[in-house]
Chains A and B, each alone.
Chain A
Amino acid sequence: MMKLIDLTMPIWEGAGYGEILPFTNSPVRLHEYMYYDKHGMRMTRMKLDGETGSPFMVPHQRNPFDPTPLQPDPKFSWLLDEIPLEKLILRDTVILDIRAPEGHEITPDEMETAIERGDYKNGDEVLLRTGWGTRKRAYELGIDYYKRTPSIHFDAAALLAKKMDEMGSGLFMTDCGLVNPPSVQGNNWFRGETPLVPHPKPWPSAEARERVIDLGAHRHGSPHPSSYGALIKKAMAGCKCLVDCDEIKQNRVKMIVLPLLIKKGGASPCRFIAVEE
């Protein structure tokens, strides 16, 4: 009996990611312009971001406006509308289990053990499961979800990237809210040595605009290397913020991964469905 499990982070106004990282991302804003009580029906203008919900991000993430990849010489260069459906649907996927508590940075040793214990086969896609990312937790924690999330230390990410390259893997997926440690991603914004207190409003707040003046719209400004950068150099796409992955009972699944079909796009909210046979 086939079982379908939805691993997609829902989207709602005020959802954490765009609220907490306003220099690189924009917040979710849902504007109703037709209403039940006036029009007898609802229509919504949705302001989203490429990283809203559970995102799907290719190495050339800034497309269609900037063709520069996040890392030089990435292994893959497909944009959203160029990825063959065969690479997105019913993909054999290994689950790498690393139970990580709040705020934990996954170490190279933990990554190595997870790879050894996982039933990792050539051509598999990778779902790194900590068990921490749940829909309930995201609803309850709001922006704190991203401050408290487990994440991946650069050396552990580099180790996994090397393994993915060897195994011919294309998709990296995780239930971590952030791949980079919050102190790196939110460097001197919501974490790091000098976080801003109280936390500034999302884009386009004055503070966010100042940050873009100082660092540009793409950089987190941390002196530490980017774990996500290590992975995306070797992956067809990086996917984070999956939820409720503990509903998967087997150590391998088939994944259906469908981002929006944005012409020449580089990042999109995405649906992630696990199929257990």
Chain B
Amino acid sequence: MKFLELTMPLNHQWMPDDVLPTSVKFFLGPKNHQEKGMVIGSDSGTCLTLPSVFEAFRKTARLDEVPVDKLVLRPTTVVSIAKSEGEEINKADVQKAFDAARPANGDAILIATGWGDKPYRESYLLGSPHLSLEAAQYLAKRMNENQSDLLLVDTALVGWPDKHLIPEWCSMLPIPAAESAEARMYLHLYDGEKAKKDFAAEMELARAGIITVRKLVHCGQIKKDKIKIIVSPLKVVRGVASTCRVVALED
């Protein structure tokens, strides 16, 4: 059996993903430091998001309630949809790849675009391939039909928050840092209606009860299209999202 690391390392010197005001900077402090310990955001590095991250689905399972067999040694079908910087994954892409992969009933789905195989750079997040809303709706439908409730992607984002978040945040130059005063002010003015539009694709998947894991890396090293996957988020009581470790097992 071969084990493959698909996790983005948490690097206290630099992370490629803390670009938007919705993110937290990963921080590690030495033992004698005022801020000793570590700071991690809900979506630092490779991260798992439960449907309950959204208010509309808050009555669904939390991190400490997810049955372990949903995440550990889970049979998984690898779906290849090659995409380059900024490209959208559309409905036809999903349909073609899903039809070709023919996942077994109950399999988790891992979409490998190749984005997570590239070296980290400034455009990692804002240049990420992503699902169109229509593709997310179609994917949710196909996964539901297939009784698949775990989706893994090697992209930095699932959908594309271009209604408010990206255009508004990136119009400020220089772009402020996560957790800055500007970020706090931005979130103060950001509301549920804006979030519904920005996270429409994510909500389609959540509505179908699908757990999503994004920011996988080095999926290109997977040689088989049927693997087993281990996803290990932090077991936060009543938590809804967490950084996680992801490992693939190839027979």
Contacts and interface: CB of A to CB of B under 8 A. Distances in A.
Contacts of B42: 42-44, 46
A34 B193 CA distance: 13
A165 interface: no
Nearest to B34: A204
Interface stretch (B8-16, B124-132, B135-143): B8-16
B10 A263 contact: yes
Interface string B7-43: 1111111000000001010001011101011111111
Contacts of B233: 271
B234 interface: yes
A262 B245 CA distance: 10
B232 to A, nearest CB: 4
A216 B190 CA distance: 44
B56 A81 contact: no
B160 interface: no
Contact of B234 (A256, A262, A269, A275): A269
B235 A217 contact: no
B86 interface: no
Given A44-B42, A86-B3, A256-B230, A39 B190 contact: yes
Interface string B42-85: 11010000001111101000001000110011000000000000
Interface in B185-206: 187, 190-193, 195-196, 199
The size class of the interface chain A forms with chain B is: 35 or more
B235 A34 contact: no
Nearest to A209: B34
B186 to A, nearest CB: 11
A261 interface: yes
A47 B187 contact: no
A91 to B, nearest CB: 12
A265 interface: yes
Which of A4, A42, A203, A212 gathers the greatest number of chain B CB atoms within 10 Å? Answer: A42
A217 B55 contact: no
B234 A11 contact: yes
Interface in A156-185: none
A266 to B, nearest CB: 10
A191 interface: no
Given A6-B68, A43-B41, A218-B31, A263 B11 contact: yes
Contact of B196 (A40, A62, A90): A40
Given A34-B22, A43-B41, A262 B53 contact: no
Contacts of B4: 85
B9 A261 contact: yes
A9 B64 CA distance: 10
Given A49-B37, A62-B30, A258-B245, A41 B199 contact: yes
Nearest to A12: B237
Interface string A233-277: 000000000000000000000001011111101000101010100
Contact of A46 (B1, B34, B40): B40
A41 B54 contact: yes
Contacts of A44: 41-42, 236, 239-241
B249 interface: yes
A201 to B, nearest CB: 15
Interface stretch (A22-30, A102-110, A123-131, A144-152): A22-30
Shortest 9 CB-CB contacts between residues of A and residues of B: A40-B192, A26-B37, A85-B3, A65-B30, A217-B31, A12-B237, A36-B55, A271-B232, A258-B232
23 contacts: A12-B237, A34-B22, A34-B187, A37-B55, A38-B191, A40-B192, A40-B193, A42-B240, A42-B241, A44-B236, A44-B241, A46-B42, A48-B40, A50-B37, A85-B5, A89-B230, A89-B247, A204-B34, A256-B72, A258-B245, A261-B245, A263-B10, A269-B234
Given A89-B247, A203-B36, 9 more contacts: A42-B53, A43-B43, A46-B39, A46-B41, A49-B37, A85-B4, A256-B72, A262-B28, A273-B72
